[in-house]
Amino acid sequence: MNNKGYVMSLASFFLILPAFLLLMVLVDLSTNEAQTQEATLNSHEVLGVATDLETNLPFIGREVIRDKSLEVVNSGIPLSNSRKEVKEEFQNRMDKYCSKYADKGVFVECIILKVDNSYDPFCVEVKSKITVEKGTLKHNVNLTQNISLTNGSFPIYDPLPFVKCRGHGGATINEERISYGSSLANYLQSRGIKNYEAYENATSPLSIKKCPYDPYILHGNTNELVNLKNCIDNGFYHESNDGACFLCRMEGKGICSHYGMETFIIPAPTISPCMNNSSTAPSSVDHVIFNDTGHGTYSGHPILYFSSENHYFSLYLDNSHRQKYGVPIF
Ligand SMILES: [Zn+2]
Ligand SMILES: [Zn+2]
């Protein structure tokens, strides 16, 4: 009897054992599943934050470039090291931006490694390192992005004329253009440039816009110089080996070693076609007028590009720029 009972309980033990084992596996499985689910949620969140940062970086960077260049526009005082100053302010704003994730238990860090020229003179390149961390998950990514000077919800102003004309009466903003009054003529006179009077009441574009008349010889390929007139009226900028890049413009440099840009500075219209073709004045390209590093300001012959009633619109161009823009060589 006792023996039988012993056999029975042993048998029932072996019968129950698989059920126990199964239960243990099931419990283990479900905790594993919960952990896997949590990890999946974390990875979704981490990657979402990384994407959010990647999307917003160029917008925040563009605001920094606008604000830094506006400081120069308003004060006329150039930045001493634009790459460094833009990078530092960019870092401040990214620190603020990243701190908003702390409440959600996500560690986010964005280090701005470098702000420098892009291969495209109408962009500024930024290199950054993003780290997003939650739970055991850590996501690192290095980014190289372009910040557009031309495309965005607000324009970016050219700071260079405001630096050059400071102390000579100052340049002012008049709608979409820069009005020089007497300041540009004063600036040129102070450098001993001949025929500086030609730039009394001159104007030039205010914000950086990329010229669509590309190849540039299209400017001169119509008899009436209609493309050149439209380019001037719209205030476009052109790619240029000699013209200063945007970051150097913030430092008040009229020329630099980087691949840069150039625009036209337009003399005030005259009431008679007074300029005979043998008259000359500084060539109306901004890097020629603002090159005060030596004998960089050379002269050009006038081109009449538009007239209406008693108003004659001309600019001066040297032969190499005439060639660049497809305008007849003098
Ligand atoms: Zn153009
Ligand atoms: Zn430069």
More confident residue, 181 or 39: 181
pLDDT band at 6 (very low <50, low <70, confident <90, very high): low
Ligand 2 mean position, distance from CA 72 (Å): 16
Question: Which residues does residue 281 pair with via DSSP β-bridges, in sequence order?
Answer: 300
Of 113, 148, 183, which one is at a domain's C-terminal end?
148
pLDDT for res 37: 75
Per-residue pLDDT tens for 291-313? 999 889 999 999 999 999 889 99
User: Is the domain of 78 the same as that of 164?
Assistant: no
pLDDT for res 260: 98
27 in a domain, yes or no?
no
Query: Which ligand has the shortest distance to the CA of 261?
Result: 2
Ligand 1 mean position, distance from CA 191 (Å): 28
Ligand 2 mean position, distance from CA 256 (Å): 5
Ligand 2 mean position, distance from CA 86 (Å): 14
The CB density around residue 5, as the number of other CB atoms within 10 Å, is 9
Ligand 2 mean position, distance from CA 245 (Å): 4
User: Is the domain of 239 the same as that of 119?
Assistant: no
Rounded-to-integer distance, Cα 3 and Cα 66, Å: 94
Query: Which ligand has the shortest distance to the CA of 259?
Result: 2
17 in a domain, yes or no?
no
Query: Which ligand has the shortest distance to the CA of 263?
Result: 1
Structural domain total, the chain: 2
More confident residue, 12 or 283: 283
User: Is the domain of 115 the same as that of 66?
Assistant: yes
88 in a domain, yes or no?
yes
User: Is the domain of 216 the same as that of 89?
Assistant: no
The mean pLDDT of 141-161, rounded to a whole number, is 98
pLDDT band at 4 (very low <50, low <70, confident <90, very high): low
Query: Which ligand has the shortest distance to the CA of 82?
Result: 2
At residue 262, φ and ψ (nearest 5 deg) are -145, 155
The mean pLDDT of 80-108, rounded to a whole number, is 96
Our CA angle for 192, 301, 176, nearest 5°, is 80
pLDDT for res 18: 72
pLDDT band at 201 (very low <50, low <70, confident <90, very high): very high
Sign of CA pseudo-dihedral 273, 278, 281, 286: positive
Which residue range forms the structural domain that includes residue 122? 39-148
Ligand 1 mean position, distance from CA 78 (Å): 27
Instruction: Check: CB of residue 285 under 8 Å from CB of residue 297.
Output: no
At residue 31, φ and ψ (nearest 5 deg) are -70, -40
User: Is the domain of 53 the same as that of 134?
Assistant: yes
Query: Does residue 68 surpass a pLDDT of 60?
Result: yes
pLDDT band at 14 (very low <50, low <70, confident <90, very high): low
User: Is the domain of 316 the same as that of 230?
Assistant: yes
User: Is the domain of 125 the same as that of 47?
Assistant: yes
Question: Which residues does residue 238 pair with via DSSP β-bridges, in sequence order?
Answer: 262
User: Is the domain of 171 the same as that of 306?
Assistant: yes
Rounded-to-integer distance, Cα 102 and Cα 116, Å: 30
Strands 281-282 and 260-262, how do they pair? unpaired
User: Is the domain of 165 the same as that of 142?
Assistant: no
Instruction: Check: CB of residue 132 under 8 Å from CB of residue 107.
Output: yes
Ligand 2 mean position, distance from CA 253 (Å): 8
Query: Does residue 213 surpass a pLDDT of 60?
Result: yes
131 in a domain, yes or no?
yes
